[in-house]
């Protein structure tokens, strides 16, 4: 690494490997289903592989260093995307997407761990906020570009574009990403997983990241059924709802950097928790007083996303703040907790999605997540700061 400035440019590109692999893939699902007979399984297996593989990639990054694990992950990402582009069956596509999920886990774990390697704990949230701003911009553009590629070249063109993106990143990291781990690569690590969970800071900040993400995941999972199926919005208009959500998130991550500079992470997260609660409350009032209107849901989600753009960088960086020698393990367990919380809350909410329930199955999990965020922000974090 030639300097922290260069890593500041690489970080958003590395984090954006996730929306490149998911958001650009969504417009291709109908054509994949027509071509191969099934599409949803490949997306589900990809998400499961990504969540579980983080538990392996974290210790590997601590044991062997960030650079070799990152480069291996990028190489596997390229291979998996090209393999998926050539897949002749749904089973083959699912297998290649599973490998891509594992590769993405390696990329994101190493990128987030490198933030803790290179920056002191108090700088971590600001750096993560900058990286997540770039991720949000890619998430905004990826579905549009994916749809264009599907229209012009078919779904296989989307996979080739993913491979090209990862190949470019591999070349950049091969040339410019030096090892960021500050200790000997093969030095024995002290503590391990038990030390990660023994850290009060890890438990509190990882809880923030997992809880806010679980609320957003419920929206992503159930919003098509609510907005299109229940409220009758046209798919194109629903697309603008998603785009607006991404724009709010981008703005929030930018604001987060200023809030951190002025108020610090605890007070910033407390304000974000109130935004999360306000957004979920607006949605709940809309379900109660105006169940046939989409505007309370749209407005409330925008307010919730303002909080989410502050919670995520603070939670992800705070989870590793006390664990500089175990940053890989801390990042992997934090990421796994996010996926586990999202899956559990989302599947529970989906079970209640049906006739006569309206938007409540989508809204109530967000209310529960917001209440949990308020509890952590105003009870747990002040006690942690006082220790």
pLDDT at 4: 62
Q: How confident is the model at residue 1 (pLDDT cuts 50, 70, 90)?
A: very low
Which among 149, 178, 207 is the end of a domain? 178
Q: How confident is the model at residue 26 (pLDDT cuts 50, 70, 90)?
A: confident
148 and 233 within one domain: no
Check: CB of residue 366 under 8 Å from CB of residue 219.
yes
Between CA 24 and CA 150 the distance in angstroms is 10
**What integer is the mean pLDDT of 127-140?**
89
Residue 290: inside a domain, yes or no? yes
Q: How confident is the model at residue 184 (pLDDT cuts 50, 70, 90)?
A: very low
pLDDT at 225: 82
- Indicate the number of domains in the chain: 2
Range of the domain at 230: 194-386
Between CA 203 and CA 319 the distance in angstroms is 7
Lowest mean pLDDT among 23-37, 203-217, 288-302, 326-340: 23-37
Check: CB of residue 132 under 8 Å from CB of residue 13.
no
206 and 109 within one domain: no
Q: How confident is the model at residue 264 (pLDDT cuts 50, 70, 90)?
A: very high
Residue 187 has pLDDT above 80, yes or no: no
Q: How confident is the model at residue 188 (pLDDT cuts 50, 70, 90)?
A: very low
Between CA 218 and CA 69 the distance in angstroms is 32
**What integer is the mean pLDDT of 186-206?**
79
253 and 114 within one domain: no
258 and 113 within one domain: no
233 and 98 within one domain: no
* Alpha-carbon dihedral sign for residues 371, 372, 376, 380: positive
Residue 354 has pLDDT above 80, yes or no: no
- In terms of residues, how long is the chain? 387
Residue 188: inside a domain, yes or no? no
113 and 53 within one domain: yes
DSSP 298-314: HHHHHHHHHHHHHHHHH
Check: CB of residue 20 under 8 Å from CB of residue 138.
yes
**What integer is the mean pLDDT of 296-301?**
96
Mean pLDDT over each residue of the chain, to the nearest integer? 89
Lowest mean pLDDT among 52-61, 210-219, 236-245: 236-245
Check: CB of residue 70 under 8 Å from CB of residue 328.
no
Residue with more model confidence, 136 or 74 = 74
The per-residue pLDDT for range 145-158, each reduced to its tens digit, is 888 888 888 899 99
Which among 117, 144, 178 is the end of a domain? 178
Q: What is the CATH number of the domain that holds 8?
A: 1.20.1250.20
Q: What angle do CA 185, 190, 193 make, to 5 degrees?
A: 105
Between CA 29 and CA 339 the distance in angstroms is 22
Which among 148, 178, 208 is the end of a domain? 178
Number of Cβ within a 10 Å radius of residue 109: 32
Residue 120: inside a domain, yes or no? yes
Q: What angle do CA 169, 78, 329 make, to 5 degrees?
A: 70
CA distances from 330 to 58, 68, 110, 336 (A): 7, 19, 11, 10
170 and 23 within one domain: yes
350 and 211 within one domain: yes
Residue 39 has pLDDT above 90, yes or no: no
291 and 329 within one domain: yes
Closest CA to 102 of 64, 75, 67: 75
Check: CB of residue 304 under 8 Å from CB of residue 276.
yes
pLDDT at 336: 93
User: What's phi and psi for 319, nearest 5 deg?
Assistant: -65, -25
Residue 201 has pLDDT above 70, yes or no: yes
Long-range contact set of residues 263-267: C-beta below 8 Å, sequence gap at least 24: 265/122, 265/125, 265/314, 265/317, 265/318, 266/377, 266/381, 266/382, 266/385
Residue 312: inside a domain, yes or no? yes
Q: How confident is the model at residue 325 (pLDDT cuts 50, 70, 90)?
A: confident
pLDDT at 70: 96
């Amino acid at each position: 690494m030639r300097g922290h400035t260069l890593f500041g440019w690489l970080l958003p590109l590395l984090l954006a490997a996730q929306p490149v692999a998911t958001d650009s893939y969504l417009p291709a699902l109908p054509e994949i289903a027509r071509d191969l007979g099934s599409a949803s399984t490949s997306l589900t297996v990809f998400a499961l592989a990504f969540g579980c593989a983080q538990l392996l990639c974290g210790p590997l990054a601590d044991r062997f260093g960030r650079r070799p694990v990152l480069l291996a992950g990028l190489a596997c990402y390229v291979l998996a995307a090209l393999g998926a582009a050539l897949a002749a069956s749904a089973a083959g596509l699912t297998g290649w997407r599973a490998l891509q999920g594992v590769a993405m886990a390696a990329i994101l774990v190493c990128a987030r761990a490198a933030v803790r390697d290179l920056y002191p704990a108090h700088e971590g949230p600001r750096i993560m906020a900058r990286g997540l701003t770039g991720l949000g911009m890619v998430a905004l553009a990826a579905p549009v570009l994916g749809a264009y590629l599907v229209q012009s070249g078919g779904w296989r063109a989307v996979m080739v574009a993913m491979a090209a993106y990862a190949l470019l990143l591999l070349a950049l990291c091969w040339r410019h990403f030096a090892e960021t781990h500050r200790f000997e690569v093969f030095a024995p690590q002290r503590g391990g997983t038990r030390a990660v969970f023994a850290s009060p800071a890890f438990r509190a900040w990882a809880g923030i990241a997992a809880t806010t993400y679980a609320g957003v995941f419920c929206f992503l999972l159930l919003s098509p059924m609510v907005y299109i199926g229940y409220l009758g919005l046209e798919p194109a208009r629903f697309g603008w709802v998603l785009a607006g959500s991404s724009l709010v998130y981008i703005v929030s991550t930018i604001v987060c950097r200023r809030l951190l500079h002025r108020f610090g992470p605890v007070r910033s997260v407390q304000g974000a928790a109130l935004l999360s609660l306000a957004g979920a409350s607006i949605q709940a009032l809309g379900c109660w007083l105006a169940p046939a209107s989409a505007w309370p849901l749209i407005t409330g989600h925008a307010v919730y996303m303002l909080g989410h753009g502050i919670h995520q960088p603070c939670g992800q960086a705070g989870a590793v703040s006390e664990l500089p020698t175990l940053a890989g393990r801390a990042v992997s367990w934090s990421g796994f907790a996010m996926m586990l919380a999202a899956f559990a809350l989302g599947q529970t909410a989906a079970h209640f999605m049906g006739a006569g329930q309206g938007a409540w199955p989508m809204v109530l999990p967000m209310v529960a997540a917001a209440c949990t965020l308020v509890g952590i922000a105003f009870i747990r974090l002040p006690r942690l700061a006082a220790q």
